[in-house]
Amino acid sequence: MRKNIVAGNWKMNNDLAQTQALISDLVEQTQTSNAEVMIAPTFTNLYSACEALREANIEVISQNMHFAKNGAYTGEISACMLKSIGVETVILGHSERRAQFGETDALLAEKVNAALENNMRIIFCFGEELNDRKTDNHFNVVKGQIKNALFHLPESAWKNIILAYEPVWAIGTGETASPEQAQEMHKFIRETLDNKYGVDTANSVSILYGGSVKPNNAKEIFSKPDVDGGLIGGAALNAIDFYAIVNAF
Ligand code: PGA
């Protein structure tokens, strides 16, 4: 059955000393929880985070990667480089990558393939912009993003895919989708998966919600039947807030 997951996306925050300090704070907060816990520090801090958390129940994951194995791609990092330091999961398709770095569905499909070829798990992000919702186009947009980047995959690949619905208008804005809006979209996503891959796959994929999840709203959002956890930005930069969210399960 699907798992509950809470993943912290640190984005471009925290230098080495700050990363180490936040990790010690997180370790202090750790207790047995009903959710898998992950954090995504910046590339330069992944190795030290992996070393520091080797014995802890916190998985260190990457915020991005390139699709190629190696070569003339200045400034990029490959799946095998991540694997070589112990990173087994990568976030792909975050709206900031799409909007600020021009990542398209086609490029994301290549990254998805590369991650899977390297036996990595993927947290695949997608979500509509405010205007899509205002024009009642949000279901179409979300379906298109999933279809274009993931529907070429065989059913067997889905055991390594985690989905993260992140409405762009709710990211970093303090405005959250209501628990009902999240549930409605997550249910739609599961139906979309069911139509393509069947009910077993649809029911086994974890679908996270992301966009201004905070300690005061996590419980209500996570209580919805098709919401299996969260991808947390701002609140993941504080250990007490982050574990308040983890413990919302
Ligand atoms: P936020 O970010 O929690 O700060 O809204 C979520 C995300 O970007 O994944």
Report pLDDT for 31. Answer: 77
Let me know if 166 is a catalytic residue: yes
CA dihedral 231, 235, 239, 244 (to 10 degrees): -80
pLDDT exceeds cutoff 80 at 48: yes
How many angstroms from the chain centroid is the CA of residue 103?
16
Q: Which of 166, 209, 222, 238 to mutate to test the pocket of ligand 1 (most atoms within 8 A of CB)?
A: 166
Model confidence at 33, pLDDT cuts 50, 70, 90, reads confident
pTM, 2 dp: 0.97
- Rounded to an integer, the average pLDDT of 85-101 is 97
CB under 6 Å to ligand 1: residues?
Answer: 9, 166, 171-172, 210-213, 231-235
Tell me how far apart the alpha carbons of residues 243 and 6 are, in angstroms, rounded to a whole number: 9
- Rounded to an integer, the average pLDDT of 52-75 is 96
- Rounded to an integer, the average pLDDT of 90-105 is 97
Tell me how far apart the alpha carbons of residues 212 and 198 are, in angstroms, rounded to a whole number: 32
pLDDT exceeds cutoff 80 at 92: yes
Q: Which of 95, 168, 213 to mutate to test the pocket of ligand 1 (most atoms within 8 A of CB)?
A: 213
Calculate how far, in angstroms, residue 198's C-alpha sits from the geometric centre of ligand 1.
30
The mean pLDDT of the chain is 96
- Rounded to an integer, the average pLDDT of 151-172 is 96
Contact 167, 139 (CB under 8 A): no
Q: Transcribe 147-170 into DSSP letters.
A: HHHHTTS-GGGGGGEEEEE--GGG
